[in-house]
Structure 1
Amino acid sequence: MFFRTIFLCCAILAGALSAGAAVTPEKLEIVTGAEPTATEQFAASELSRYIGLMTGTAPAVVPEPSGAGVPIHIGRAAGKQLTEKFNHGIAHIEHDAFVIEVLPNRINVTGNSDRGTLYGVYELLEQQGCRWFFPGKLGECVPRRISLSFPEGKQEFIPDFNQRTIDIGATDGIDFGEMIDWAAKNRLNFLPAARMFFVRKYLPPDRQDVWEKRGGQQEWQFHVHNLNQMVPTEKYFAEHPEYYALYKGRRHPIGTPSRPGYGGGNLCTTNPEVIDICAKFIIDYFDRNPEGMIVPVWPGDGAIIWCECPECRKLKGINFMNGRRGSMSRRMITFGNAVAKKVAVKYPDRKVLVPAYANYIRPVDIPLEPNVLLQYCLHGDYAHGVDRCSHNRVEREQLEAWAKISRNQLRVWEYFLLGDHYSAPAENSAMLPVLYRIKTTLPYFKSIGMNNYMTQSSPKYWKHNIAAYYFTAKYAWSTDRDFDALLDDFCRNMYGKAAPFIRDYYILVEDAVAHSDWHPSIYSDLAVPSPKVFTAEVTAKAAGLLDRAGRAELNELERARVDLVLNTFRHIQNNIGTQNALGFDAKADWRIQRGREAYIMNPDGRELSGLDVQRLETNALDVGNYGDDFKRILFRARKRRMPVLELKNTALSVGVIPELGGRIIRMTDAGTSYNYFDEPVSDGKTSIGEKYFNYGGYEEYIGKGFAGPGWESTYRYRRESGAIRMEFSTGTLKLERTVSLPEPDRPVMRIESVLTNHSGETVTTSLRTHPSLAWSGNAGDARLELTLPDGSVRRSTVDLEHDKAIAAHGGKCVITGPGGNRLAYKVDSNCGGALYFCKTSPHTFTLEFLGGERSLPPGDSIKITQEFTIIHN
């Protein structure tokens, strides 16, 4: 942050401020001018309110000074000359700048914008000791004062990052309006998940001016995948298929009707008409939104198809290929530049955002147009500083290569506060130990010329990671901070007499992370305590510190805050205790050992009796930590042998593991010994806390979400003639799956799945099947003959249908591989649904059935019947 203090040498007027003198609130009045904006009026009322909370006396808010006291002039009433030298462009980094000036006879607080004026008021209050660590009373710290002190001088504040975003949305237990209030007080200026659409959704009409009062937030057309909005399929595809990606002789629209921003094809990014349409869309947006500052040109999410027309192919990049040959970065930058150049003719000071993401993340040597903002989506090791850890080497090299061509045009999108965002939205007590990462990474970003910052987050972790969210906001405004002083101030204000112990606890954990061999490269893993960090020594020291914190004399608010830290540590103890009890070795990777007759889960672990497991579960319930993280650890860390049950006839052999999600890992042709289901050959060393692990084969999930309930559970089973019957219950829903070979001499496998509501109330749910198929040759070239429910036939390939959903709840499909392997698939259900193809590797793809969502009254069921038939002629 650019920060300047200019001390003034002025004569002291009688009855006015003297340098550094204490001022009682009775001598203050807050001046707004005759026609204040809504934000200036709100800023004045905030200043009066908090001075009243501090001193017991709230100064009057008046349009003009009365002459009876020392006036604090707010916004334009302070005088335009204070902000004249700032750049007034909407998209300029000085837009949110502000000035605090203390003169002998008045105080001026004004911003380069309304938002800057409000920031200036909150800065003035922070200088008096006010703090806002978390939304609402839980995080507000207002000191008691008899008088206030205003050192004479002029201070100018300019942020280090133009955009400052922690993408926080609605969550249980945090008032949506208070969340926006916290963001404004900590100078975050763009919250995509708190734009007006969500304000109207979550706040009553009398509170929907929440942004207007706070100077608004940065206005973007959208913040992510939006090309489908610029060139919508329903508007253009029928008459202008040439606007969209050409792949294997066919044009592919963006997304699907149900997911318009996901999957499908990209635009033909070299088509001049497409470039004109996108530029006109952006210009129209700026015409209609005078405060609008950024419009992205961002393709759909997922593994989209890029155009293979001659002009696009000149820019390199090969669909579905990893590495440099598959990079689409040259196409993305060329397209973004072409659009931005046209926009700049009318709006040279507004920005066109071009992403570096997915298979267009590799740097290229193409200079950016001056009005292009490049956004780099940063992954890597989420626990350690980008510039401090060898595991971040590739990310660092790519960032710095982009920085060479985009200095002061570079933006980042981070994920280190995201955790497991697929888990339940309820409050989660997991710890995200990232304070040291914040301390080093944001200054590093600034050092390479980055001037826009965003991190995605899950607000469900916020209440148990107050310091991490607060520190991120503070560093996003100014990277030139004394970390120790910031931590001391946070702990002292939040935890009272427990502060020394909480502070030492944070430092203990952060030191353990910094020196550990724990490098979470999946953001959900960051929320799973690692025994590589929480060793016996660290855990014992932490327990001692927090025991002393818990015994400190505290007021009601301080007690509530300390209890949150204690609850988080109990969550850590429970998870680490579970892993230790199960024999998980912190120095070794978790693995699964695959065999012909059985799989062994965590073969390096320790076997436990049923009573031992029950005690662990009871303890988790007692301390409130029996959630998804605990169940995942317990399932994977408990050493056990899981038999592979075999069904066999003269034509087919099927292998089923009831204890591993009831999955089918083999469907082997007796004649050729070819297994049509993907069964990974490695023992799968990976992180034990990873959200999804590819066990291979056929699996099912309850609900629409990927890896939902049932996929990683132990099923009860019984064998019958030619069939295996399995069942699993969530307590509310029971899933019964029967795998059978219905004919003794034919290679046909049938799967009947029945999901029944066993509760006393109606439940809305769905069922999703997920077979992973292995194919000889390039799986994407496998030919498809899809017979749809209306009887029509659609001929295609896996590549052409990749990442698309095809209505087919009563249809069938014949798949012919490059090597001649043929498989017929038939599905029927009473819930509707669609087929979904997804190529997952050169030789594998998934053939999912996405069952439609249904409301099930008590006792009602969803039923899905599938048949897989190997075709020999």
Structure 2
Amino acid sequence: MNMGRCFTALIIVLSLGVTNMMAKSLREHSSKGKHPVLILARDGRSDYTIVISNDASPTERHAANELRNFLEQICGARLPIVTDEQSVSGPMICVGWSRAVQRLDVNVDLASLGKEGFIIKTVPPHLIIVGGRLRGTMYGCYTFLEDYLGCRWFTPDCTRIPKLRTIKLPSINRRYVPPLEYRATDYPNSRDPDWAVRNKVNGHLPPIDEQRGGHVTYYPFVHTFNALIPPQEFFEDHPEYFSLVRGERLRDRTQLCLTNPEVIQLGIERLREWIRSHPDVMIFSVSQNDWHNYCECTRCSALAEYEGSQSGPIIHYVNALADAIRDEYPDKAIDTLAYTYSRKPPKHVRPRPNVIVRLCSIECCFSHPLESCPVNASFVRDIKGWSKVCNRLYIWDYVINYAHSIMPHPNLYVLKPNINFFIRHGVKGIYEEANYFSKGGEFAELRTWIMAKVLWDPSYDTDKAIDEFLEAYYEEAAKPIRRYINLIHKVVRENSNLHMHIWSPPTSGYLSPRIIKQAVKLFDEAERLVRHKPKILHRVQVARLPIMYVQIMRASPKYRRVGDKFVPMGYEQLKQLTDQFERIARKEGVARVREARSGVLNQWLAQVRKPMKELHILTLRNGRLIVEIIPERGGRIYRIYDRVWRRQILRVASPNDPLYPGTGGYEEYSEGEYRTPGWEETFAVEKHTERAVTLSAKLRNGLQLQRHIEVHPERPIIHIRSTLMNVTDRTISACLRVHAEFRLAPIQRTIVKLLRHSGRWVTKKLTFRRDETERQIFLREDDIPAGSWMVVDTKTGLAVVNDFSTSQVGQCLLNWCRKPHRVNLELYSPQVQLKPGQKISIDHSYTLMRVGKL
């Protein structure tokens, strides 16, 4: 195998960067050491004929045509294509298995190559490229063009096809079978079928037709419990089919009762329907919905306890479905997830051979390789556990920031080590989830290129992939962009304590003002170098969007308080930056800047421009308290100040926070999940007195939220009544959530006390496990406080007591954070279906007192 010289040739190609020198370098390379054994073309002419089998597969015929077309582009000669039934007098390029290959007496073990493996071999004067009929021969042709002739297909609109009037080849004897059977990502730029097959991406999204070998197909793709047994179809008559949570069968945001025999039988029937209606699909997903709420019934709980994980009931259930279709459909596989609450492998049950488990890395740190980062220790344990019990283990990996998809996410140097780590632990397929929801993601094309190369060949060098891509895609601007990549990656690569997750904020440590300032200079240089090339200039500007995004997110909340207003600072500079961002983003076709609904470009632009207006502060007061409210920021209580203790009671956000002053303090949500509608809307002031205010807002989900806040005439008590009302003509799922953030003292001297139904107060210490920065506990059923709980400063005895009606509260959440020493006491109403005109409310109060008075 002469791979060393082949890769040397490509490195030379990359360093020269012009087609004439590229041709010269390849000619020199092929003649070093010993004479070339094949001359495919000389001075733009060729004596070679491409030979395929008379019964060649559609993919093999396509491969022969692709090889001919690219050879013509390279050297100018158009080779004829004939079948093995025709006589050929001159040298041959045999594409796929044929009688011509047999006559050359070449030993090819086709079975060992599988669907996608191949051999490339010189049998002077002939060249054979033979592989699996489905995709192997085609992949062999593209590999030959890449590794021996220097072709690259970086993006659908950026390729490198060298010009070589003469093509000389050394002796070649190469065999390759890819280690992964499923190689997928989802960037919009990765979905062109020609780009996908040329880069050996065979995932579910590119519409790859039969002549290009098809692709791995899923139906449905993921989170399918509701599709398998729809609540809208079965819940009314059979609530027992769905998860029992805190003593109640859930219709909304539910999972399945996986131990119910009828649920098993229904699942089998629906699975058979899916297979019959989608006969070409290879993999059928039977997987948990994208939320928690697993079933807590006696049988499900007992099985989960026996297996030591919630994956136990899932694998038992999926095995039952897999057994039922195994004999009838031996070529089909059932896919399920090991995700969040089901990530830990079961102790006893083993997935059936026709079951695929997709292990998800959503909680991990992605600034460092998974295997070496202490934050990822539990994930490493889980993949090792699954690798011992599952013979078809897939990975669902995450490669972008989902809260800020247009923001620097320096993970390019962890892609390769993570993929290799997966493969070493028996993984057979990898889905690299990326910016599937929009064009214009941070380095979308470059990251796609690196992933494609390493998914196919795990030894592919990251620096090589970066350099060859930058040179082709950014041309003269490649060098400053390379320095920028080095700049942002150096910070995380050299700091083992700087962790990056998929929701890291624009204030992350690796995006210091110094880094941003240097990045701006590098992009100024890059733009200057290609200022006369509009197409390349636009690419450079798109690459700059992440830095602009950080600048905007950090600049947009710059408020200065002046009396009873927040006055925006740096308006003109922010406006200019935002307008420039919008112009580039719209030209690129950016639809969203984050995965969540609030990430729609128009909505985000409105939000970041929103701080350009003055914000008014409403003040309530008595002799003890000052309560400040910002109607234009979700009607939030921004500040509670105790005049006696001279103490801020709520956590007041730092002016450097990107959302300041629209974050921290007290806010409410209308759908239960964090920052669902209600927290950021502008509230109208219906009535305002010295001690009370009534606010209301029409939310984007169709609900109306009204809030009445009132301070006691004399005592340090604040009463709040909030009401959600459905003002539409349709039923809306709703859950009123009170989100209050307190900061009485450093977290190490803060405790929480809860009133039990026995009348006894119990103390909860706010501790952290190693490396934890935040913890939370949901309190449900008997664990819900008996109408009262408090946060206490143990040094001073100052306490804030939250009293509420237990009839209005379905669960509570206690959340605490090491920095900024925050404690949340959160109340949730029950999740309800509000019909038109219906409403739900929460009445509660906050009282300041000394603990000793209890």
* CA deviation profile, 1:680-730 (whole Å, cap 9, x unmatched): 9667899967999985755368x9997467733676858535874669999
1:619 positional shift = 3.3
1:740 positional shift = 4.8
The residue type equivalent to 1:357 in the other structure is Y
The residue type equivalent to 2:209 in the other structure is W
The 1-side partners of 2:61 and 2:415 are apart by 35
Q: What secondary structure sits across from 1:454 in the alignment?
A: strand
Structure 1 residues 533, 368: CA separation in 2 closer, same or farther (over 3 Å shift)?
A: same
Residue 22 of structure 1 contacts residue 150 of structure 1 at CA under 8 Å; is this kept in 2? no
Question: Paired residue for 1:73?
Answer: 94
1:467 positional shift = 1.5
The 2-side partners of 1:655 and 1:849 are apart by 30
1:413 positional shift = 0.8
Structure 1 residues 535, 770: CA separation in 2 closer, same or farther (over 3 Å shift)?
A: same
Superposed, 1:170-319 pairs within 5 Å as: 179-191=192-204, 193=205, 210-233=208-231, 243-245=241-243, 252=249, 256=252, 263-269=253-259, 271-272=260-261, 274-275=263-264, 277-279=266-268, 282=271, 292-309=281-298, 311-317=299-305
Superposed, 1:779-818 pairs within 5 Å as: none
1:386 positional shift = 0.7
The 2-side partners of 1:530 and 1:771 are apart by 27
The residue type equivalent to 1:395 in the other structure is F
Question: Paired residue for 1:204?
Answer: none
1:562 positional shift = 3.4
The residue type equivalent to 1:712 in the other structure is E
Question: Paired residue for 1:788?
Answer: none
Superposed, 1:387-786 pairs within 5 Å as: 387-406=371-390, 408-417=391-400, 419-420=402-403, 429-459=406-436, 460=438, 461-462=440-441, 464-516=443-495, 519=498, 522-525=501-504, 529-530=506-507, 532-552=509-529, 558-572=536-550, 575=553, 610-624=568-582, 645-646=619-620, 656-658=629-631, 660-663=633-636, 695=664, 698-699=667-668, 707=675, 711-712=679-680, 720-721=688-689, 724=693, 739-740=707-708, 749=721, 770-772=736-738
Question: Which of 37, 59, 62 is the aligned partner of 1:18?
Answer: 37
The 1-side partners of 2:697 and 2:275 are apart by 55
Structure 1 residues 518, 180: CA separation in 2 closer, same or farther (over 3 Å shift)?
A: farther
Residue 575 of structure 2 contacts residue 609 of structure 2 at CA under 8 Å; is this kept in 1? no
Residue 698 of structure 1 contacts residue 769 of structure 1 at CA under 8 Å; is this kept in 2? no
Structure 1 residues 845, 212: CA separation in 2 closer, same or farther (over 3 Å shift)?
A: farther
The alignment status of 1:131 with 2:89, answered yes or no, reads: no
1:380 positional shift = 1.5
1:817 positional shift = 6.5
Gaps of 5+ in 2: 7-34, 586-592, 594-598, 641-647, 741-752, 758-778, 790-802, 816-824, 846-854
* CA deviation profile, 1:132-162 (whole Å, cap 9, x unmatched): 222x31x333333323344432322211222
The 2-side partners of 1:166 and 1:115 are apart by 18
The 1-side partners of 2:479 and 2:501 are apart by 33
* CA deviation profile, 1:471-491 (whole Å, cap 9, x unmatched): 112111121122222223222
Q: What secondary structure sits across from 1:414 in the alignment?
A: strand
The 1-side partners of 2:829 and 2:296 are apart by 24
The 1-side partners of 2:372 and 2:240 are apart by 47
Which TM-score applies when normalising by structure 2?
A: 0.67
Q: What secondary structure sits across from 1:333 in the alignment?
A: helix
Identity %: 21
The residue type equivalent to 1:355 in the other structure is L
The residue type equivalent to 2:338 in the other structure is A
The residue type equivalent to 2:174 in the other structure is Q
Residue 411 of structure 2 contacts residue 489 of structure 2 at CA under 8 Å; is this kept in 1? yes
* CA deviation profile, 1:83-141 (whole Å, cap 9, x unmatched): 963558xxxx943222333332433334314233332232222232222222x31x333
Residue 516 of structure 1 contacts residue 532 of structure 1 at CA under 8 Å; is this kept in 2? no
Residue 665 of structure 1 contacts residue 697 of structure 1 at CA under 8 Å; is this kept in 2? yes
The 2-side partners of 1:101 and 1:413 are apart by 36
The 2-side partners of 1:360 and 1:709 are apart by 29
The residue type equivalent to 1:179 in the other structure is D
* CA deviation profile, 1:747-783 (whole Å, cap 9, x unmatched): 9947699999xxxxxxx9x99884328997799xxxx
1:463 positional shift = 6.8
Question: Paired residue for 1:859?
Answer: none
* CA deviation profile, 1:527-555 (whole Å, cap 9, x unmatched): x5446223455445444544444444686
* CA deviation profile, 1:808-864 (whole Å, cap 9, x unmatched): xxxxxxx99799964788xxxxxxxxxx978756985534899999xxxxxxxx999
Residue 29 of structure 1 contacts residue 60 of structure 1 at CA under 8 Å; is this kept in 2? yes
1:70 positional shift = 4.2
Question: Paired residue for 1:594?
Answer: none
The alignment status of 1:144 with 2:163, answered yes or no, reads: yes
Question: Which of 358, 371, 377 is the aligned partner of 1:375?
Answer: 358
The 2-side partners of 1:402 and 1:268 are apart by 21
1:288 positional shift = 7.0
1:646 positional shift = 3.7
Residue 51 of structure 1 contacts residue 57 of structure 1 at CA under 8 Å; is this kept in 2? yes
The 2-side partners of 1:691 and 1:368 are apart by 49
The residue type equivalent to 1:67 in the other structure is V
Residue 635 of structure 1 contacts residue 713 of structure 1 at CA under 8 Å; is this kept in 2? no
1:395 positional shift = 2.1
The 2-side partners of 1:477 and 1:666 are apart by 55
The residue type equivalent to 2:200 in the other structure is R
The 2-side partners of 1:228 and 1:390 are apart by 36
The 2-side partners of 1:86 and 1:113 are apart by 9
The residue type equivalent to 1:454 in the other structure is Y
The 1-side partners of 2:193 and 2:705 are apart by 47
Gaps of 5+ in 1: 7-15, 200-209, 257-262, 319-323, 422-427, 584-597, 601-606, 668-678, 757-763, 780-797, 801-814, 826-835, 854-861
Superposed, 1:41-52 pairs within 5 Å as: 41-52=61-72
Residue 410 of structure 2 contacts residue 489 of structure 2 at CA under 8 Å; is this kept in 1? yes
The residue type equivalent to 2:543 in the other structure is V
The residue type equivalent to 2:154 in the other structure is F
The 1-side partners of 2:96 and 2:177 are apart by 16
Question: Paired residue for 1:39?
Answer: 59
Structure 1 residues 342, 662: CA separation in 2 closer, same or farther (over 3 Å shift)?
A: same
The 1-side partners of 2:125 and 2:483 are apart by 45
Residue 94 of structure 1 contacts residue 159 of structure 1 at CA under 8 Å; is this kept in 2? no
The 2-side partners of 1:691 and 1:96 are apart by 54
Question: Paired residue for 2:342?
Answer: 360
Question: Which of 126, 140, 156 is the aligned partner of 1:120?
Answer: 140
Question: Paired residue for 1:793?
Answer: none
* CA deviation profile, 1:176-233 (whole Å, cap 9, x unmatched): 9x63332222212122x55xxxx6xxxxxxxxxx523321111333331223444455
> Number of residues paired by the alignment?
715
Question: Paired residue for 2:310?
Answer: 328
Q: What secondary structure sits across from 1:523 in the alignment?
A: coil
The farther-off stretch of 114-123 and 710-719 is: 710-719
The residue type equivalent to 2:379 in the other structure is E
Residue 771 of structure 1 contacts residue 846 of structure 1 at CA under 8 Å; is this kept in 2? yes
Which TM-score applies when normalising by structure 1?
A: 0.66
The residue type equivalent to 1:493 in the other structure is A
The 2-side partners of 1:409 and 1:316 are apart by 22
